[in-house]
Structure 1
Amino acid sequence: MMAFPRVRVCSRHVSVSLNLCGYATLPGAARPQEKNSTGPVFQFVGERRKPTRKVFVWGFSFTGALGIPSFVVPDSGRKIPRKYQLTPYRLETAEQITSAACGYGFTLMASSTKDTSKLWGMGLNKDSQLGFQRTQQDRNRSYDYVLEPSSVALPLVKPVQTRVIQVACGRAHSLVLTDQEGVFSMGNNAYGQCGRRIVEDEVYSGSHVIHRMEGFSSRVIQVACGQDHSLLLTDTGKVFACGWGSDGQTGLGHYNVS
């Protein structure tokens, strides 16, 4: 199983616009640490050893999208929050991440492992683009901001055998491609970008909806998200599109929502 976080409640104000109501935390020894670069480091590995995958993050941190909570809620040793990380920073995880994608203020990561936990999200979650992230105080409420990689539970029929192949993120929606159970979508569907029927006045905050996209004549092998539209490529070379098409980005020959 994973060494990723539990959820803990916090009532601190971290900026004028962000009232943080909760975030995910790791045990102290496992939390990401800044590296000491005062001297050279020599490492030797066996010739046949498989390479270890590493994740590096940088950019705007205050939504939690970088997965480093101390940037937003500083530890006792750092008094000033770090709004921007200007250079690549190592995000230490216990998982071998094989796919990652960034949306507007959030990040989704996946591992092709056969463990039951294989998908993690961090950052802005006001449209449930990271799934339902249950709070500890109220099991019926979900966190709007997730500061550390938190597990996203997919409704898989075979949760052990099925692997996550790729993730993609739009402005406020996400796609997850698996090897055996097709494509799942979650988050904002105001323009049909999740590949399901548009529900008028649907509330996306705290949503449990993770939709399995259907209707493909062959297996989907790649997915991509624009701001509010989605594209899916099948193994026969067909491309399917859904979502906002006001600039012709769906390629369906019209400017409508589909």
Structure 2
Amino acid sequence: MGNNSYGQCGRKVVENEIYSESHKVHRMQDFDGQVVQVACGQDHSLFLTDKGEVYSCGWGADGQTGLGHYNITSAPTKLGGDLAGVNVVQVATYGDCCLAVSADGSLFGWGNSEYLQLASVTDSTQVNVPRRLPFSGVGQVKQAACGGTGCAVLNGEGHVFVWGYGILGKGPNLVETALPEMIPPTLFGLTELNPEVRVSRIRCGLSHFAALTDRGELFVWGKNIRGCLGIGRLEDQYFPWRVRLRSAGWGVRVHSAAGQQGSLLPGPGAGQMPPAAGTGEPPGGASHRPGPVRL
């Protein structure tokens, strides 16, 4: 469902179709196996099946469909390249760069490399087939995340590595790198008194990152557009910063989600925050908030 201008919903493009008035959910049946994960990019979609195979559809001008061409594809099509015969366990995309993680901890990428996301395997700014990324020193990759200009991976030891362009989390002096750099674990709460702290999940937004630890603590960094980091102020954040949640007892238990200009995180069960009288906005009337608000 949604905008299908480039076939990203896995069905034929209908000329002059008005997507804002369509509430129909279209069933997709072009897969060999059951779909276990979906990742949506800017104008393309990725699908992972229970057989470890990756399918894609949508806009392919930067190679983000990974099908060996730069055209529009309106039906989910299985990827080959270096992914042929590989058991994939996770896919990630956001803008027009894509990553895939295999069961043995290898990392694969395709799509846009304008910001050095895939510079480890090519000087080209576009890669239209999946390529294995030969990153040394990272170890077995457990999870990958793509942003608009930067990427991140989490390895089996709970360490976070970042590369690409932007505010990557290691201070203002690191704005561009083609090879992954590890963010010091101490920035996520690792100390002599807490030696077992590990990052368990990572996410990317357009130009910001989020990391969740096994203690339920959320850390964010990057461009703080419209207060999307939720850190109580509007300045950009160059190092991981722990988000302070207003309600006692809150902890992020499973997932966080980072979007273009906002982030979501689950807390204890709570009702919807009522709008301020006559405004349709949260209490205080602000159109955007620099700190987390319970929904």
Give the shorter-chain TM-score range: 0.5 to 0.7
Match of 1:157 in 2: 189
- Paired residue type of 1:145: E
Structure 1 segments (4+ residues) deviating >4 Å? 237-241, 251-255
Distance in 2, matches of 1:256 and 1:59, equals 35
2:115·2:150 contact (CA, 8 Å) conserved in 1? yes
Residues 89 and 70 of structure 1, relative CA distance in 2, 3 Å threshold: closer
CA distance in 1, matches of 2:272, 2:184: 26
1: CA distance, partners of 2:251 / 2:225: 26
Contact 1:162–1:181, Cα closer than 8 Å, also in 2: no
TM-score normalized by the length of structure 1: 0.58
Paired residue for 2:112, among 54, 60, 65? 60
Contact kept in structure 1, 2:216 and 2:251, CA below 8 Å: no
Within the candidate set 149, 157, 161, 1:120 is matched to 161
Give unmatched runs, 5+ long, in structure 2: 1-80, 86-102, 274-279, 290-295
Match of 1:98 in 2: 142
Distance 2:111 2:227 in 1: 29
Alpha-carbon distance in structure 2 between the residues aligned to 1:65 and 1:172: 14
Asked whether the equivalents of residues 58 and 85 of structure 1 are also in contact (C-alpha less than 8 Å), the reply is yes
Q: 2:266 matched to which residue of 1?
A: 233
Q: 1:55 Cα shift?
A: 1.3
Percent sequence identity is 24
CA distance in 1, matches of 2:250, 2:151: 29
- Give the Cα–Cα distance (whole angstroms) in 2 for the partners of residues 149 and 61 of structure 1: 14
Q: Name structure 1 gaps, 5 residues minimum.
A: 1-35, 42-50, 72-80, 134-140, 242-247
Q: In the alignment, is residue 188 of structure 1 matched against residue 227 of structure 2? A: no
Corresponding position of 1:218: 250
* Cα distance in 1 for residues equivalent to 2:272 and 2:117: 29
2:205 paired residue number: 170
Aligned residue type for 1:189:
N
Question: Looking at both structures, which has the greater relative contact order when contacts are Cα pairs under 8 Å and sequence separation is at least 6?
Answer: 1
CA RMSD of aligned residues (A): 3.3
Provide the C-alpha distance between the structure 2 equivalents of 1:210 and 1:145, rounded to a whole number of angstroms.
Answer: 17
> 3-state SS of the aligned residue for 1:85?
strand
SS at match of 2:188: coil
Residue 210 of structure 1: CA displacement? 2.3
CA distance in 1, matches of 2:230, 2:156: 24
TM-superposed CA distance for 1:92, in Å, is 2.8
Pairs aligned (count) = 175
- Distance in 2 (alpha carbons) for counterparts of 1:101 and 1:240: 30
Q: Measure the CA separation in 2 of the matches of 1:98 and 1:57.
A: 15
Query: Please, what TM-score do these two structures have when normalized by structure 2?
Result: 0.51
- In structure 2, distance between residues paired with 1:185 and 1:239: 25
Report SS of the residue matched to 1:233.
Answer: coil
Give 1:239 shift. 9.5
1:69 corresponds, among 105, 120, 136, to 120
Provide closer, same or farther for how the CA distance between residues 239 and 143 of structure 1 changes in structure 2, counting only shifts above 3 A.
farther
